[in-house]
Amino acid sequence: MSEANAKLEQFRGEARAWLAANFPRSLVGKAAVYMTYDLDVPMEGDALAWRTALGEKGWGTPTWPTEYGGGGLSQMEARVLQEEMHAIGAFNPIPILAGMGVTMVGPTVLEYGTEDQKQRHLPPIARGEVRWCLGYSEPNAGSDLASLATKAVDKGDYWEINGQKIWTSGADISQWCGALVRTDVNVGKRDGISFLMFPMDQPGVRTRPIKLIAGASPFCETFFDNARADKKDLLGKLNDGWSVGKRLLQHERQSQTGGAPMGGGGGSLQELAKKYVGLDSAGKLRDEDLRLRLAQHLMDAKTHSLTLARVAAESRGNAKVTAAASILKNSATHVAQARAELTLEIMGGNGLGWEGESFNDEEINAVRAWLSGKAMSIYGGSFEIQNNIISKNILGLPETTQKG
**58-96 confidence digits (pLDDT tens):** 999 999 999 999 999 998 899 899 999 988 989 999 998
Q: Where residue 43 falls among pLDDT bands split at 50, 70, 90?
A: confident
Percent of the chain's residues with pLDDT above 70: 88
Average pLDDT estimate for 379-387: 78
Do 370 and 267 belong together in one domain?
A: yes
- Last-in-domain residue among 188, 214, 239: 239
Average pLDDT estimate for 222-226: 98
Do 296 and 384 belong together in one domain?
A: yes
| Residues 31/96, Cβ–Cβ less than 8 Å | no
Higher pLDDT, 29 or 291: 291
Longest dimension (CA), the chain: 79
Do 44 and 71 belong together in one domain?
A: yes
Do 174 and 206 belong together in one domain?
A: yes
Do 291 and 209 belong together in one domain?
A: no
- Last-in-domain residue among 210, 239, 268: 239
Residue 401 forms part of a structural domain: no
124-156, pLDDT tens digit by residue? Answer: 999 999 999 999 999 998 778 889 999 999 999
Mean pLDDT, the chain, rounded, equals 86
- Last-in-domain residue among 239, 270, 291: 239
The CATH code of the domain that includes 51 is: 1.10.540
Do 311 and 197 belong together in one domain?
A: no
Q: Is 3 among the catalytic positions?
A: no
Residue (of 100, 120, 236) closest to 171 by Cα position = 100
Residue 146 forms part of a structural domain: yes
Residue 379 forms part of a structural domain: yes
Which stretch, 96-105, 233-242, 317-326, has highest mean pLDDT?
A: 233-242
What range does the domain containing 209 cover? 132-239
247-279, pLDDT tens digit by residue? Answer: 898 777 666 555 444 433 445 888 889 989 888
169-181, pLDDT tens digit by residue? Answer: 899 999 999 999 9
Q: How many angstroms separate the CA atoms of 231 and 16, rounded?
A: 45
Residue (of 329, 309, 304) closest to 103 by Cα position = 329
- pTM over 0.85, yes/no: no
Domain count, the chain: 3
- CA-to-CA dists, residue 51 to 43, 62, 66, 220, 354, angstroms: 8, 13, 17, 27, 33
**Other CB atoms within 10 Å distance of the CB of residue 353:** 20
Do 230 and 265 belong together in one domain?
A: no
The CATH code of the domain that includes 148 is: 2.40.110.10
| Residues 108/135, Cβ–Cβ less than 8 Å | no
Do 265 and 386 belong together in one domain?
A: yes
Cα(first)–Cα(last) distance of the chain, in Å?
Answer: 54
> Does 399 score more than 90 pLDDT?
no
Q: Which amino acid is present at 245?
A: G
Q: Where residue 282 falls among pLDDT bands split at 50, 70, 90?
A: confident
The CATH code of the domain that includes 297 is: 1.20.140.10
Residue 122 forms part of a structural domain: no
Residue 244 forms part of a structural domain: no
Average pLDDT estimate for 224-239: 97
Q: Which long-range contacts (CB under 8 A, 24 or more apart) does 135-140 make?
A: 135/165, 135/168, 135/177, 135/178, 135/179, 135/180, 135/181, 135/222, 136/165, 136/167, 136/168, 136/179, 136/180, 136/245, 137/165, 137/166, 137/167, 137/168, 138/163, 138/164, 138/165, 138/166, 139/164, 139/166
Residue 23 forms part of a structural domain: yes
Query: Which residue out of 77, 252, 362, 363 is catalytically annotated?
Result: 252
Do 183 and 291 belong together in one domain?
A: no
Residue 250 forms part of a structural domain: no
Do 235 and 277 belong together in one domain?
A: no
Residue 232 forms part of a structural domain: yes
Q: How many angstroms separate the CA atoms of 185 and 154, rounded?
A: 13
Q: What residues have CB less than 8 Å from 326, skipping those under 6 apart?
A: 253, 381, 386, 387, 389, 390, 393, 394
Under the phi-then-psi rule, with left for phi > 0, alpha for psi from -120 to 50, and beta for the rest, what region is 348?
left
Do 312 and 343 belong together in one domain?
A: yes
Do 279 and 203 belong together in one domain?
A: no
Q: How many angstroms separate the CA atoms of 320 and 251, rounded?
A: 10
What pLDDT was estimated at residue 260? 46
